[in-house]
Amino acid sequence: MRYLYNLATLALSTVFLSALAAPAGSFKPRFEWDKIKYVYAFGDSYTFVGGTEGYPRWSFIGSAFNFSYTPQQLLEDEIQVNVTGSDGASWLEYLTGCFQGRPSECAPRQLWDFAFSGADVDKNLIPLHHNFSVDLVDQVREWALYGSDVIPHPAEETITAFWIGINDTGDTLNNSTLDFKAFWELEMQSLFGAVQNAYNHHLRGAYLFMTLPPLERSPDHIGNPIAPIYEQNIKDYNAALLNHSAHFARTHSDVNVFTFDTHQWFYDILDNADQYGFTNITGFCECSDPTFFWFNTGHPTARVHSLLAEAVEAKLRMDSFV
């Protein structure tokens, strides 16, 4: 696989961090989950939902082939039922109650999901999975260009989720020459450059960063000799993500910055599977069987998404009023 990567570019990190530390307003809206009406999302197959204006079974709206869209297309786009990375709804659909139809007609929360299945952070670091894919950097850029002035995002009523890196850690796994920790640092520069772009276009209020799950425990990697490397890469990626999210919080005092430890949450469920009704955590079933944890070799079932939504909501309620 071709990587457009050079360790010399790490010298640019100071420049990027300076950009992230751009002056921010002093007013931080009080976060109250019950007052949130708009949920935005950027990410990959763990987060995407299908839409009538999206690339079929890959996105809610747009693709690399159709990067622009009109206000009418965005506002009339409809979420398609159960077009996700699982056998049913996604965690964000459970979290918002927005399962189908126009997001603007959902209550109590609207879901504006710009994630693209198969996305990496930045196509300049890792080649696109497909020529129609939209990486996270471009997901944010696309929204900034064509959606930022169309959909409401008042700070007191908005939260934005960023969940990315699953494909990045998987796509690089067999690269024997890569300095992974340095590479994750580059990925964070790109990721938080995109977060800054969202911030610059007034998508503020609250940000939620999700860590990566322990995919070395997925059916595709259980017992695989490379699993320990995968495990360490995911831990290192998560450490970089937490470091950069903390830095962003320090330099943007007008935004509520939250993290959810998906990695530990997956471990807890997998280690206590019987308590949650899962009887198979090593195989998978591309069906609607609530006893399976994994829907396929790398994606959990809708029941896992439902439980995850409950856990995320509980965390956001704990973060309310803090």
- Does 222 have pLDDT greater than 50? yes
- Does 81 have pLDDT greater than 60? yes
Measured distance between the N- and C-terminal CA atoms of the chain, rounded to whole angstroms = 45
Is residue 115 within 8 Å of residue 153, measured between CB atoms? no
Residue with tokens 């990697």: 221
Domain assignment present for residue 250? The answer is yes
Mean pLDDT of all residues in 252-273: 98
**pLDDT attached to residue 25:** 52
- Does 11 have pLDDT greater than 50? no
Report the C-alpha gap between 38 and 104 in whole angstroms. 9
Q: What average pLDDT does the structure give for the chain?
A: 93
Torsion angles phi and psi, residue 186, rounded to 5: -60, -40
Mean pLDDT of all residues in 214-224: 96
Domain assignment present for residue 216? The answer is yes
Domain total of the chain = 1
**pLDDT attached to residue 245:** 99
Torsion angles phi and psi, residue 152, rounded to 5: -65, 150
Domain assignment present for residue 223? The answer is yes
CB 264: neighbour CB atoms within 10 A? 13
Q: How confident is the model at residue 201 (pLDDT cuts 50, 70, 90)?
A: very high
Q: How confident is the model at residue 26 (pLDDT cuts 50, 70, 90)?
A: low
**pLDDT attached to residue 21:** 40
Reference 240, options 198, 191, 289, 203; nearest CA is: 191
Report the C-alpha gap between 143 and 245 in whole angstroms. 21
Cα-Cα-Cα-Cα torsion 43, 46, 51, 55, nearest 10 degrees, comes to 70
- Does 2 have pLDDT greater than 50? no
Residue 185 parent element (H or E): helix 180-200
The domain in which residue 85 lies consists of: 28-319
Domain assignment present for residue 221? The answer is yes
Give the side-chain half-sphere CA count within 13 A for 150. Answer: 18
Global confidence as pTM: 0.92
Domain assignment present for residue 201? The answer is yes
Report the C-alpha gap between 36 and 206 in whole angstroms. 10
Q: Where residue 153 sits, what CATH number does that domain have? A: 3.40.50.1110
Q: How confident is the model at residue 9 (pLDDT cuts 50, 70, 90)?
A: very low
Domain assignment present for residue 7? The answer is no
- Does 267 have pLDDT greater than 90? yes
**pLDDT attached to residue 215:** 98
Contacts 24+ apart (CB under 8 A), 145-148: 145/68, 146/68, 146/69, 146/70, 146/71, 146/74, 147/69, 147/74, 147/112, 147/114, 148/201, 148/202, 148/203
Domain assignment present for residue 119? The answer is yes
Summarised one tens digit per residue, pLDDT across range 148-184 is 999 999 999 999 999 999 999 999 999 999 999 999 9
**pLDDT attached to residue 322:** 62
Domain assignment present for residue 12? The answer is no
Reference 219, options 286, 164, 169; nearest CA is: 286
**pLDDT attached to residue 17:** 37
Summarised one tens digit per residue, pLDDT across range 311-322 is 999 999 999 976
